[in-house]
Amino acid sequence: MKNLKKGFTLIELLVVVAIIGILASVVLASLNTARSKGSDAAIKANLANMRAQAAIYYDNNNKYSAAAVTCTVTSANPSVFTGCTDLFADATMKAGLSAAAQSSSNTVTATTSSDGSAYGIEAVLKTLNTTGWCVDSGGKSEQVTGLTANTANAVTACP
């Protein structure tokens, strides 16, 4: 006599559901890593764009600031710019600082030297809370380890 039963057993269905669950968890873990790396890329791009804007500002004003300036922007309130004058009061610079703060979910610090001839901008990267990205007037654009959100002088933070 022929077996006319069609379909799957309960065990077969449970095995398929378990396999799908394992594959989904692997994919979600990979997406979170990709999202963090995307935020880091956004931070680096914003800082690179600010370096170009700083060069334009310097060409127009022959210096970055009249005195030492320390500018901070937090991710908690990216529209509040503390101590941002001269170079960092420029609308394009403010937009870049705000975007970098939002991408890093941390504080972005920008400083100028006391004679206004140099600047540095630093942001903590999202993937590692003690690793940051730093750009300065000397043309450096590199990763900095041991960086925290409270670093006071970005001019000297770029190695």
Tens-place pLDDT, residues 49-76: 998 899 999 999 999 998 888 898 988 8
Whose CA is closest to 93, among 133, 42, 54? 54
Tens-place pLDDT, residues 96-108: 999 988 888 888 8
**Domain chopping of the chain, boundaries:** 10-157
Tokens representing residue 65 in the block: 């600031």
Can you give the pTM of this predicted structure? 0.75
Query: What is the predicted pLDDT for the residue at 157?
Result: 58
Buried b (16+ CB within 10 A) or exposed e, 4-20: eeeeeeeeeeeeeeeee
What's the chain's average pLDDT? 84
Query: What is the predicted pLDDT for the residue at 147?
Result: 59
